[in-house]
Amino acid sequence: MLDRRHLLLAGGAALGAAALPAIGASRARTGDLFGDIQRRTFRFFWERSNPVNGLMPDRWPSPSFSSIAATGFALTAYPIGVKHGWITRAQARDRTLATLRFFWNAPQGDAPAGVSGYKGFFYHFLDMNSGLRFRQNELSSIDTTLLLGGVLFAGQWFDRPEEAEIRDLAAKIYARCDWRWFQQHDTQKRVSMGWHPESGFIARPWFGYTEGQILYVLALGAPDHYLDRDAYDGWCSTYPDSWRGSGATRHLAFGPHFAHQYSQCWLDMRGIRDATMRDAGFDYFENSRRATYWQRDYARRNPGKWVGYSRDIWGLTACDGPGGGQAPVNGTQRRFSGYSARGPVGLPDGFDDGTIAPTAAVASLPFAPEIVEPATRALRDRYGGAIYGQYGFLDSFNPSFTFARARVDQGKVTATAGWVDSDYLGIDQGPIVAMIENHRSGMIWDAMRSHPAIRRGLQRAGFTGGWLG
C-alpha cells in the first residue's frame, strides 16, 4: 500500500484556475485575522483545483496527485466563497458541476488500473488529469466519506431550480456506495479501512473513537445498501480504550486532533447524544471541547521539553514533519519524522516530535474560541511570514529543528521558526475554512441538519435530543 509520504513527489501538478484578486502580504488587522485566514485558505481550493474535473491536489506547491478527501473539502469551500463574495454563485456552480459530473461518470470496476473506484467508492489518490487510480493506493472508505461530506453539502446548498443537476448527481453518487460490501470481512459488522484489488480488504476495521464517526452516520443514513444499527454498536463497543481524563477532563480521546474536526465539519453534534454520550452525560461537541483543552494543556506542560510550546503555541495532528532522523535537542537525542500522525503522548496514536500544525488549533475554533483565538493570533504574531503566506498557514513547522545542515524531507530551516514546511495540504486546509464558517454563521451545519440522510443516519445510530427532537 502506498502512503502519503511515498507518493509525495509523484504525479502531476494541479492545473491553473481563475485567480482571485491578490491579497497584500499579510496586512490583516488583528481583529479580522480569522477573515484573512479563511479567505486565503479558500483561495487554495479555488485556485488549485482542476477546473476541468474538479479534482483537488493533495498538496501544493509540490507536484501532487489528487486527494478525494481534499476534493470533498473543496466542494464545501465553494459555497463559503459565494457567501463572502469571493466568487460568484455561477462560478461555484460550474466548478461543482464539473466535480460531480466527473465522479458520477468516472469508471468503476475491480481492475487494478484504468478505473477511479469500485462499488461506488473511490481510490484515496487519483491522477489529477485523468482521474484514474494513482499507482497502487487503496480504495478508501473514509476518504470517500469525506468526499461525500462535500458532495452532500453541495446538494443541499445549491437549491435553485437551475441547480437541479447538482442535487441529482449528489444523490446518485451517494446512493451508489455499497456500504455492506465494506463490512463483509468483519464478524462484528465494522467497516474496513480500505480495499486493494491486488490483496483484498485491509484487515483493520474502523475502531475506537476516530474520524470514522461520519463514516458510520453516512453509512446508516444511506438510501440503498445502508448499514444496520449493529454496525454502529460494533464500532462503539471499541470505545473503552479511548477514554482519558477524569471529571471535567474526561473524554473520548484520539491524539491527532483531526479526529475531532473532520466529522464535525459537516455534522452538528451540539445537544444530540447516542447511547455512549447519554451514559457519559455530555455530547460529542463537548467531548471535542475537552480534547481541545487537553491539547493546549499538554503544550503548556510540555513534558517533552520541545522548543516553542506554550499555552498559546500548540496543536498536534497528522501533518508533514522535517524527517531527518535523530538530532540532539536540549542535550537529548530526539527522533524526527516526516509525514506522520501526531498527538499528545499518552493518547491513542499519540506521538510528539515537536512539530506543530496550525490547523489543529485554528480548525478547533467552534469548540473553544476562548483558547483558539489567542493561539491563532500568537502563531501569526510570533512567527509571521515564516509560517503564514499566500494561502494562510503553511502545513506545519518545528521550532526545535534548527539544524541548518540536516537533510530534511522537504521545507527549510528558518532563523525564526526552525523547520517550516513548504506545502499546504488539502486535508489540513479544509477544516480551517469549514470550521471558521461554522463558528461564525453555522452555514454548513444548518444545511446538513436538514438533509434527510443525516437525520436518518443519526437516528438509526441511536442519537436523540437537541435539533433531532
Domains (ranges, CATH) in the chain?
Answer: 31-242+448-468 (1.50.10.140)
Predicted confidence at residue 329, as pLDDT, reads 83
Residue 274, helix vs strand vs coil = coil
pLDDT beyond 50 at 25: no
User: Residues of the chain with pLDDT > 90: what percent?
Assistant: 87
Angle, vertex CA 462, rays to CA 168 and CA 203, nearest 5: 75
Mean of pLDDT values over 23-42 = 71
CA distance linking residue 225 with residue 236, whole number of Å: 21
User: Residues of the chain with pLDDT > 70: what percent?
Assistant: 93
Mean of pLDDT values over 137-153 = 98
User: For residue range 400-445, what is the model confidence (pLDDT) as tens digits?
Assistant: 999 988 889 899 999 999 999 999 999 999 999 999 999 999 999 9
Mean of pLDDT values over 379-390 = 97
Q: What are phi and psi of 220, to 5 degrees?
A: -75, -25
Predicted confidence at residue 9, as pLDDT, reads 35
User: For residue range 298-339, what is the model confidence (pLDDT) as tens digits?
Assistant: 999 999 999 999 999 999 999 999 997 888 887 888 999 999
Predicted confidence at residue 217, as pLDDT, reads 98
CA distance linking residue 6 with residue 25, whole number of Å: 33
8 Å CB contact between 423 and 410: yes
Q: How far is CA 442 from CA 214, 235, 337, 430, 462, in A?
A: 18, 28, 36, 16, 24
Of 12 and 397, the one with more pLDDT: 397
At 7, the pLDDT band (50, 70, 90 cuts) reads very low
User: For residue range 164-190, what is the model confidence (pLDDT) as tens digits?
Assistant: 999 999 999 999 999 999 998 777 788
Say how many C-beta atoms besides its own lie within 10 A of residue 305's C-beta: 13
Residues with Cβ within 8 Å of residue 144, at least 6 apart in sequence: 68, 117, 120, 121, 122, 177
Predicted confidence at residue 164, as pLDDT, reads 98
pTM for the complete prediction?
0.94
* DSSP-derived pairing of the beta strands 418-420 and 412-414: antiparallel
Placement of cell 435539533 in the chain: 467
pLDDT beyond 60 at 208: yes
The beta strand positions in 39-118, using DSSP E, are 59-60, 66-67, 117-118
pLDDT beyond 70 at 252: yes
pLDDT beyond 90 at 71: yes
Angle, vertex CA 112, rays to CA 49 and CA 51, nearest 5: 15
Say how many C-beta atoms besides its own lie within 10 A of residue 280's C-beta: 18
Per the prediction, the chain carries an average pLDDT of 93
The strand pairing partners of 273, in sequence order, are 464
Range name among 10-19, 127-136, 154-163, 415-424 with the lowest pLDDT average: 10-19
At 469, the pLDDT band (50, 70, 90 cuts) reads confident
Predicted confidence at residue 31, as pLDDT, reads 54
Placement of cell 488500473 in the chain: 113
Predicted confidence at residue 404, as pLDDT, reads 87
Closest to 354 measured CA to CA, from 293, 420, 409:
420
